[in-house]
Amino acid sequence: MKTRVKLLAGNWKMYKTHADALAFAAELAATTLPRDDAAVEAVICAPATALFGLADAFAPLHVGVGAQHMHEAQEGAFTGEVSASMLLALGCRYVILGHSERRAHFAESDANVAKKTVVALDRGLIPIVCVGETLEQREGGQTATVIRSQVGAVLAALREREAQSDQNPPATGALPLASLVVAYEPVWAIGTGRSSSAQDAQEVILLIRELIRAALGAEIAQQARILYGGSVKPDNIATYLKQPDIDGALVGGASLKPESFVELWRQSAL
C-alpha cells in the first residue's frame, strides 16, 4: 500500500511566455479540477520568466509552482542564473535539477546536480532530481550502472549533509531528506512518443528506492517520491501509477495544454 502523496509535475521546458502561463491558469480556473490534495499534488515547473505571479494565480486551484533549474550560490556574478532564494521569493516550492536536457546541452554534471540538491533542501525548495540512461546505454545493458552513478552522487552528498548536521544545523526553512523527489526519465523516451513500459520503469524505480534505502535508511526510502517521465500522456499515466514504487509523473509535452494537464491530474487522482 502506497502512503506517499502522488505527484503530478508538468515541465513546460522553454514553452510559454508569462502571458501564456497566466492564460493557462485562467483556463484551469474555468475547469472542474480534482483538487484532492491528499491523493495527488499537482505542480507546474514553468520557465523562469513565467514565474512572476504564477504561484498566486495557481494557489486557489491547488496547483503548486516549480522552476526548471537553479544555481547553487545564494547570489553573485553568475550572469543569466537564478538562485534558490529568488525562486522562493516568487512562491516556488519545487525545482527540477539535472534534467537530461541540461546535462546534455549545458554540461550539468552529477557533481553539480548533487550540490544543487543539497542547496535546494537547505533553502527550502523540493528538488526533483532527474536521472536516466540514453538509448545507447540501455541497449548496451548499462541502465543500472548509469542510474547507480547518477543517483549515487546525489545520495553521497545527502549523506554528507546528514553527517555534518551536528556542526551545521539546518537553517530555518530547510527541508528534511524525505522531501527528496527523484524522476526517472530515460532519455530515449523524452519527447519521442516512445515511452518505457510500466514494468521496466518500475524495475529502475525500485532500484532507485533500494539505493536510497542503502544510503539514507528505510524510513527515508519509504517516504521519498520517485516519478517516471518520458512520453507520459493522459492515456498511459495510469499504468505507471499502478506500479508499487512509481509515485507520479514528470510530464513535458502533455502538460502544455490545460485540458490535457487536467486529464493527467484526473487520471492521477483515481
- Output 99 or 225, the one with its CB closest to ligand 13P: 99
Q: How many residues sit close enough to ligand 13P to count as binding (CB under 6 A)?
A: 14
3-state SS class at 154: helix
Reported as type and span, the H/E element at residue 116 is helix 110-123
By CB under 6 A, tell whether 232 contacts ligand 13P: yes
Region of 72-80, 112-120, 201-209, 229-237 interacting with ligand 13P (CB under 6 A):
229-237
133 binds ligand 13P (CB under 6 A): no
Active-site residue numbers? 99, 185
Among 131, 204, 221, 250, binds ligand 13P (CB under 6 A): 250
Estimate to the nearest angstrom the gap between the alpha carbon of 236 and the chain centroid: 19
Distance CA 234, CA 254 (A): 8
Q: Is residue 251 involved in binding ligand 13P (CB under 6 A)? A: yes
Residues 6+ apart with CB under 8 A from 200: none
Q: Is there binding between residue 253 and ligand 13P (CB under 6 A)?
A: yes
78: phi then psi, degrees, rounded to nearest 5: -130, 75
Residue choice 60, 140, 176, 191 for contact with ligand 13P (CB under 6 A): 191
Residue 244 to residue 241: CA distance in whole angstroms: 8
Contact predicate 4/225, CB 8 Å = yes
Interaction residues for ligand 13P, span 138-177 (CB under 6 A): none
Position 83 contacts ligand 13P (CB under 6 A): no
* E strand or H helix that includes residue 208: helix 198-216
Reduced to 3 states, what is the DSSP secondary structure of residue 98? Answer: coil
Report the site for ligand 13P in 7-66 (rule: CB under 6 A): 11
Number of Cβ atoms within 10 Å of the Cβ of 155: 24
Nearer to ligand 13P (CB atom), residue 66 or residue 252: 252
Q: Interface mask (CB under 6 A) for ligand 13P, residues 98-117, using x and -?
A: -x------------------
Residue 268 touching ligand 13P (CB under 6 A): no
Half-sphere exposure of 14 (CA within 13 A, CB side): 3
Is residue 230 near ligand 13P by the rule CB under 6 A? yes
Residues at the contact surface with ligand 13P, assessed by CB under 6 A: 11, 99, 185, 190-191, 229-232, 250-254
